[in-house]
Amino acid sequence: MDFFADHTPGVSPPAPVPAIAPWCVLLVDDEPQVHEVTRLALRGFEFQQRGLELLSAYSAAEARAVFAQRDDIALALIDVVMETEHAGLDLVRYLRETCDNRLTRLVLRTGQAGQAPEDRVIRDYDIDDYKEKTELTTQKLRTLFYSMLRSYRDLGVIEAQRSGLSRVLQASAKVQNAATLKLFSSTVLEQLTSLLHLDRSALYCLVLPGEGHSDRETRTLAATGEFAEYQAGSSLEQLPAQVAARFRQVLAQRQAQHFDDAYVMYMADERGGANLLYVTHVEPLSELDRQLLEIYIHNVALTFENINLMEDLQETSKELVYTLADAVEARSKETGAHVQRVSLVSERLAQLYGLADREVQLIKHAAPLHDVGKVAIPDHILHKPGKLDEQEWALMQRHVEFGVAILQRSRRELMKVGALIAGNHHERWDGQGYPQGLAGEAIPIAGRIVALADVFDALGSRRSYKEPWPAEQIRQLLSEQRGQQFEPRLVDLLLEHFDEFLAIREQHPDDAQG
């Protein structure tokens, strides 16, 4: 049987090995001659500078095994009649319905059209074409391959975009700091290279402001493909030599550069830094490709600057909190790193307690405000060396009330947590505290944590009325107050990690604040 009667004479010599992976095609037929003739007809075939990798299966069962091993099969030519009269049809249904493979292009080839009428098969089975073996000349076979591979490519792009969009949306929701920006940038970069049909190897770098191009710090922000290992803040010196050399050339000339196998984009920012995008490619980039790349790097650069600004504002707010707390401590003559240590002890207790990271950070940065209400207490009470009388003690207790009044005016979450801590850090687990006499879990967790952190650090600190307590004496008192002044679980956590908390004091002594 001559399946390719119109075979064109003068078969082209094999093409050079392409730079990118060939298209994977599976031939499913129980006749070895069909495999041989098909391979002969497709000798030298190439689409988009990619040749073919032809795999063979001589039964539907073998084809299932191949599909189980390979997820990159672009096209399968499937015979209808093999080990059974409808083996090919069963294979199609298995791939589409059981395996949910909607991407591979499936073409039925039959030498017995009566066994599987074309109209019924196309209607009832999710196939992409139906061909009788006798009608597939060499040219028609090649035309079929061009059409099917183009369809597979386009569907692959759509699927990649759909999947990528989901990842981009997830990453976008988390863009709150530089770490999540890396995830966002990598995802967008991956989708951009896919959209442009580029090699999936790309690298995005930030160049920090500096005096000259030679001494400016460069860090990777996003990377895909062969550069993926460099995406975790790698420096210029850690990048491949050729990439680093091209980056230096672009930085020196302060403009984009085109190379035979890559394009390097340069964009300066308002702070004196720069953004670099390195994209490898097989074919030269079109003007549209370059415009899309420029849009990408411009938007990521703006996002990064906005995040930096947000982080600067957040750090400024935190510094103001510590400055205010330090001022209160200084006024009450409890100078030193007390507020910093209370903050760190509270953070660690919150972590050990199992709170979410966001709640941990809020408690950490609001803890220094626990005694802010002392700013409203008269000096003669704050600085009294002896015991306070009943009236003075009643006024001193009102520092809790004053602290809440100061902080609750703000709508900021940090200040709200600060007000919660200020108003509850003198409550006791047994209900004998002040100002409300709350007990047990009725006391907000932030207040329970800071209450323990404050006392733990105060016991080990020098005050005008006492010397610092030794570690064992502190341990003993906390054990005694377990279930009375403090929540039992928190005391257990602190005592279990006692050396770790003592180390916080050693790392932040009173004479080395900052």
The answer to whether residues 450 and 421 touch, using CB atoms and an 8 Å cutoff, is yes
Taking the C-alpha atoms of residue 345 and residue 463, their distance in angstroms, rounded to an integer, is 19
Question: Containing H/E element for 207?
Answer: strand 202-207
The answer to whether residues 15 and 46 touch, using CB atoms and an 8 Å cutoff, is yes
The answer to whether residues 505 and 457 touch, using CB atoms and an 8 Å cutoff, is yes
Reference 51, options 23, 75, 71, 84; nearest CA is 23
- Residue 119, class by beta-carbon neighbours within 10 Å (0-12 exposed, 13-18 middle, 19+ buried)? exposed
3-state DSSP of 446-499: HHHHHHHHHHHHHHCCCECCECCCCHHHHHHHHHHCECCCECHHHHHHHHHCHH
Largest CA distance in the chain: 114
Taking the C-alpha atoms of residue 39 and residue 258, their distance in angstroms, rounded to an integer, is 39
Partners of 25 in the beta sheet? 54, 75
Task: State yes or no: is 374 an active-site residue.
Answer: yes
Cα dihedral across residues 166, 167, 170, 172: positive or negative: negative
Q: How far is CA 491 from CA 346, 357, 417, 502, in A?
A: 12, 21, 22, 14
Within 8 A by CB and 6+ apart from 66, the residues are: 26, 55, 57, 73
Question: Containing H/E element for 123?
Answer: helix 118-124
Within 8 A by CB and 6+ apart from 390, the residues are: none
SS3 state of residue 298? helix
- The one catalytic residue among 133, 182, 364, 374: 374
Within 8 A by CB and 6+ apart from 188, the residues are: 168, 171, 222, 296, 300
- Residue 215, class by beta-carbon neighbours within 10 Å (0-12 exposed, 13-18 middle, 19+ buried)? exposed
Tell whether omega for the bond before 13 is within 30 degrees of 0, i.e. cis. no
Taking the C-alpha atoms of residue 207 and residue 53, their distance in angstroms, rounded to an integer, is 43
Taking the C-alpha atoms of residue 434 and residue 508, their distance in angstroms, rounded to an integer, is 30
- Residue 474, class by beta-carbon neighbours within 10 Å (0-12 exposed, 13-18 middle, 19+ buried)? buried
Tell me which residues are annotated as active site: 374
